[in-house]
Structure 1
Amino acid sequence: MPADLTPDPAFEPHEPADRSPADGVDQAPPAPSTGPSIAPSTATSPAGRIRAGQPGKSGSGDAFDNPSKSLKQTWKPTHTRKKEVLTALGIFQRATADHLWRMLRPGDRHDRCTRDTLNALKGEGKVRVETRLESGHQLWVLTERGHKEAKQLLPKSARMSVLRKLQYDDDGEPVDGDGYDEHAAAVTSTAAVLTGAGYGTPLSWQTEIAHRLPYGYTQYADLTMRAPDAGVPAMLLEVDRVNEPVDDLTAKLRRYNDWFELLAPKADKDREKAARRQGAAVHDFRLWSRIYPATGREGYVPVAFVFTGKTAAQRESRMRRLEQAARRYFAGTRYPWAGFTAVDYHQAVPVVVTELERITADPAGAAGKVWRRLGRDEWQTLSEALDNPDGERLYRREEEQSRRRQAERKAAEREAQRPVCTQCGTKFTDERWQVTAGSSWHGQWDGLCGSCAEQAADRAEAERVARRQAEEAERAAAEAPAVKPRGLFGRRR
């Protein structure tokens, strides 16, 4: 995860005080712009907004950023802010000052400082205004010089956007760029509000990432976010201005699902097929696990649909229709055993939906309860929406409960079969039961409990001893010689 490129302004190295923007550079107006925009130029949430997964900053956010009119302070663009802007434009190619403010410095009260930084970079020949949008906002892009510097600032793992070259008319005059529509503005706004809420940094984003399918189609994701510090290792985002048919949105989910099921190179098909019954083990054989990090949850990489435009009722209708049409891809499957209510999400696509209007209206921004998991009714935070309380954890609890019930049932069945002593009516102990059941010869006391059997054995032994003694006495008497008594006149020998 790249380091956060948004340091505390109070500790930033500032340029010398005598440096001023070059002649002809647009100067920042004394007040923030208030014209209509994809996202309003003034802050819609308190400066102390919640940041998802990132601690708040303790430094003073007002130093030099928003000088009071009563104080004689003159704000000067800093090297750190210039690097931030160049890096963001290197990734997103085109953005307004409003987008960059929400993405880089959401703690500022307005976008004036960001506009001043852009004007300073324009004076250095590193950025230029490509066109002015209908909302009145200027659309900024990198010049060739700025593109080279941004490429040096970005890590090698980051995907650098293509340079927007300046176009000229037949008379050699520069012309405004085109091709930037409201969809592109909504995509950049989405990345801006999520980054401002603490979901990564500008380096956490990539645009138009290709997912090639074997049947010749390539599914491009509007945005790809990686924010492990906020609990979202990876997420694919699709932005819809409520102008795409629901069938097209469903087809996107189908293609994502097909791509997630692709085998990794040299993966064993038979082992992959067997692993489908082993939960998360199947992902080790899939291609997506070689490209994206483990999600830390059941299922594939989550997909988020961000809706904007039209009315709230139309956006809600669009989300409900998508939920009905795409259920097969996100609903998971019930475990087949009786008594189990848990759902197997290991081979399902977690799908969440939100609205740009809902995010900007919430005091916590994208870190608030502005996300809804398809298949649920409540609005939750992103971490809550991606969690699966009815998935693996519930399955483990129900499995343990089922194992306990089965053990209790077997114990009850065994208890019902336990022998009873025919003499005293006492149930056999386990030891006595095992002795009688394990003997291949049926004894005369097998129907007696241990105590009664012992007493019976003692009585039998006593009787046997008595009989033997009696027999010995009789035998001794029979074998003894007859002795005649001698009288007074008996013959002497």
Structure 2
Amino acid sequence: MAGKRKTNPAGSSNELRGDVLRVLGVLKVATADQIQRIERPHLSFRHTGKPTPSERKTARTAAHCGALSDLRKHGQSENGGRTKQAETLRNLTLKGLEAAAKALERPMTEMGGTARGTGSSGGTHAMAVNETIIAMLRPKPDLKLLTGEPAEAQAAARAVAGASPGIGTIASYATEIPLPANGTWSAPGKGGAQADIVLTAPQHGVPLLFIEVDNCHETAEELAAKLEKYARFFRRKAKDTDGREKPLWRTRWAVTDAGPDHPYPPVLIVFNHIGARDPNRTVVRLAELTRHLWKGEWDPDGYHCYDQKIPIVATGLRNLRQHGPAGPAFRRFGRPGQQTLLDAIGNPRLDAARARQRAQIKANQEEYQAQLREIRERHAEREARRPACTGCGAKLSDARWKAAQATDWDTPKDTRPHLCDTCSPQAAATEERTAEEQGHREHAAVADAQEADRHQRPEPLPDWAERRHFLRFTRRPVCTQCGAAFTDERWQAVERTGLDVLPQETRPHLCGNCDQWYKVDGEQSWPHMDPLPRQEERDQERDQEQAVPERKPTGWFSRLRR
């Protein structure tokens, strides 16, 4: 503990000294009260039991005053005079500025100067700049650190914590930034401007904002000349690291244009009414003088286009403290009424037009998706009805399906509607081969039938058979015993009916040889029986019977017979 006291006699902590370095690194010059209100706003609601405001301020700033005392011992800060309210102004030395650059994580080239000598005249403008930054920040107290405080203090702290939010952190701000119309960033030439405050808080919708603070000492013409310098700076171009030429301010600050136009960064003018001039009249005159810098062109889609124009916004420090950046405390040149900061530096009509376009695009996309879903459903339904090839199982193509369903009179009917384009030719070839084979088989069968018919066709009848009207056998008979065909003599013999001169054959189903064998077999089997009468004997008996004359009947029966 003794070692720490020797290093930091006031007993300040690293956190408190870091608070001082960060604030003074941005503001360049400030009071202990301002440092405390920015970094430890909850201390403003402590020590409420002190009888006077002076004692309460001394109590709540004691910790940061100790940190300033320790930094002064280390040669990093110094007292820079007093304000008109007799508050001590604190600023950093060059050594402290280097420490602040590390605390803010900024390059030393962007830290600016030490603002030594600012307090010699009371630092009125610097205090207005600081109060503007505090009004833009609107620091919120940590209610957990006020648990043991009186109810009135906690209620006041809750009211502040529940008010409209600010923009950015202390690291989002920078002061006394040169805007060279010629020269370089570190050595700007004449004719350039110097921004009182530069705000970069893209996380809160403010990618880049230049702020000018006026204590109502400057005329409208002087402010217009300063805005002309801003315009010169915005129009200046330089080559970037990629070798392409672009506006100089874009080489230091990254800003993305989200719209069809390319406006310059907005400029906010904050009037602190402590001078003799009326800010209301100054604003009207300034708007007229700078109309060519901020006036946009009307677009048929319902918004103004501010391409290569400077959005100029004006407000009062008192209104800014009361409403904050999220309140209606800002007036945009060329627009009626008061707006929030984001609306004032933006383009609400353009945002509305984009919202309508996005809504229309979304509606079109939804309609398109609905059409796609309907098409997919119809396609799925059609695919479900699409027949499959019975040969390979593949789905039929559209052309094949259409050809298979053709019902026009002039369209030939497909003989194989159940087959695909691949299987149909194969089936046709198979059918052709089958038909060809069938034709060959039929031709062979016809030839075989003709050959068989030729063999089975009866031979021409003999002359004696053609002279007969009735034939027992219309074709040459075959022996039932041996299967041999009859000879002409045997055929003629078996055709006798008994009415001829020769008697009828007793065995007409046998050929001549088999008939002789039949006779021989009979005589050998029954030798005791008389042999069959011979043909000559039968013929003689028949001749004798024919030689006997027929006896004619007599009497009346003969008449009936005739």
TM-score, L = length of structure 1: 0.54
Is contact 1:129-1:139 (8 Å) kept?
yes
Q: Does 1:381 align with 2:340?
A: yes
Name the residue aligned to 1:252: 226
Residue 95 (structure 1) shift: 0.3
Residue 307 (structure 1) shift: 0.4
Aligned ranges for residues 476-491 of structure 1 at < 5 Å?
A: none
Q: Does 1:262 align with 2:236?
A: yes
Distance 1:86 1:240, change over 3 A: same
Return the match for 2:29 from 62, 72, 94: 94
**Unpaired segments ≥5 residues, structure 2:** 46-56, 140-165, 183-188, 361-562
One-letter amino acid of the structure 1 residue matched with residue 292 of structure 2: R
Name the residue aligned to 1:309: 273
One-letter amino acid of the structure 2 residue matched with residue 150 of structure 1: A
Name the residue aligned to 2:103: 153
Deviations 1:302-354 (A, max 9, x none): 1100100248992222222222221221121224xxx5542111221111111
Return the match for 1:242 from 205, 208, 216: 216
Return the match for 1:193 from 135, 139, 158: 135
Aligned ranges for residues 213-362 of structure 1 at < 5 Å?
A: 213-214=181-182, 216-265=190-239, 285-294=246-255, 296=257, 299-310=263-274, 314-335=278-299, 341-362=302-323
Aligned partners of 2:119, 2:274: CA distance in 1, in Å? 26
One-letter amino acid of the structure 2 residue matched with residue 81 of structure 1: L
Name the residue aligned to 2:410: none
One-letter amino acid of the structure 2 residue matched with residue 213 of structure 1: A
Deviations 1:50-74 (A, max 9, x none): xxxxxxxxxxxxxxxxxxxxxxxxx
Name the residue aligned to 2:180: 212
Return the match for 2:83 from 133, 148, 153: 133
Aligned-partner SS, 1:391: helix
One-letter amino acid of the structure 1 residue matched with residue 284 of structure 2: R
Aligned partners of 2:180, 2:316: CA distance in 1, in Å? 28
One-letter amino acid of the structure 2 residue matched with residue 136 of structure 1: A
Identity of aligned residues (%): 29
Aligned-partner SS, 1:306: strand
Name the residue aligned to 1:105: 40
One-letter amino acid of the structure 2 residue matched with residue 199 of structure 1: I
Deviations 1:99-133 (A, max 9, x none): 22333234442554444212233045143332222
Aligned partners of 1:22, 1:79: CA distance in 2, in Å? 10
With a CA cutoff of 8 Å and minimum separation of 6, indicate the structure with the bigger relative contact order. Answer: 1
Is contact 1:369-1:380 (8 Å) kept?
yes
Distance 1:22 1:213, change over 3 A: closer
Aligned-partner SS, 1:234: strand
Aligned partners of 1:203, 1:315: CA distance in 2, in Å? 30
TM-score, L = length of structure 2: 0.48
Is contact 2:198-2:208 (8 Å) kept?
yes
Distance 1:128 1:211, change over 3 A: closer
Name the residue aligned to 1:118: 65
Aligned partners of 2:115, 2:320: CA distance in 1, in Å? 30
Report the aligned-residue RMSD. 3.8
Aligned-partner SS, 2:335: coil
Is contact 1:209-1:224 (8 Å) kept?
yes
Residue 164 (structure 1) shift: 6.1
Aligned partners of 1:120, 1:265: CA distance in 2, in Å? 44
Distance 1:179 1:293, change over 3 A: farther
Is contact 1:86-1:150 (8 Å) kept?
yes
One-letter amino acid of the structure 2 residue matched with residue 390 of structure 1: R
Aligned-partner SS, 1:264: strand
Larger Rg computed on CA atoms: 2
Aligned partners of 1:328, 1:115: CA distance in 2, in Å? 51
Name the residue aligned to 1:79: 14
Aligned ranges for residues 36-75 of structure 1 at < 5 Å?
A: none
Is contact 2:331-2:339 (8 Å) kept?
yes
Return the match for 1:162 from 96, 113, 129: 113
Aligned partners of 2:173, 2:111: CA distance in 1, in Å? 11
Residue 263 (structure 1) shift: 3.0
One-letter amino acid of the structure 1 residue matched with residue 83 of structure 2: L
Determine which structure has the larger helix proportion and give its number: 2
One-letter amino acid of the structure 2 residue matched with residue 368 of structure 1: G
Alignment size in residue pairs: 307
Is contact 2:180-2:193 (8 Å) kept?
yes
Aligned partners of 1:396, 1:312: CA distance in 2, in Å? 45
Is contact 1:85-1:118 (8 Å) kept?
no
Aligned-partner SS, 1:309: coil
Which range moved further: 387-396 or 208-217? 387-396
Q: Does 1:370 align with 2:329?
A: yes
Instruction: Tell me which stretches of 4 or more aligned residues in structure 1 moved more than 6 Å.
Output: 18-23, 398-401
Is contact 1:143-1:164 (8 Å) kept?
no
Is contact 2:12-2:70 (8 Å) kept?
no
Is contact 1:97-1:114 (8 Å) kept?
yes
One-letter amino acid of the structure 1 residue matched with residue 329 of structure 2: V
Distance 1:390 1:115, change over 3 A: same
Aligned-partner SS, 1:109: helix
Is contact 2:301-2:353 (8 Å) kept?
no
Q: Does 1:203 align with 2:177?
A: no
**Unpaired segments ≥5 residues, structure 1:** 1-14, 26-75, 168-175, 273-283, 402-493
Name the residue aligned to 1:70: none
Aligned partners of 1:231, 1:163: CA distance in 2, in Å? 30
Is contact 1:234-1:295 (8 Å) kept?
no
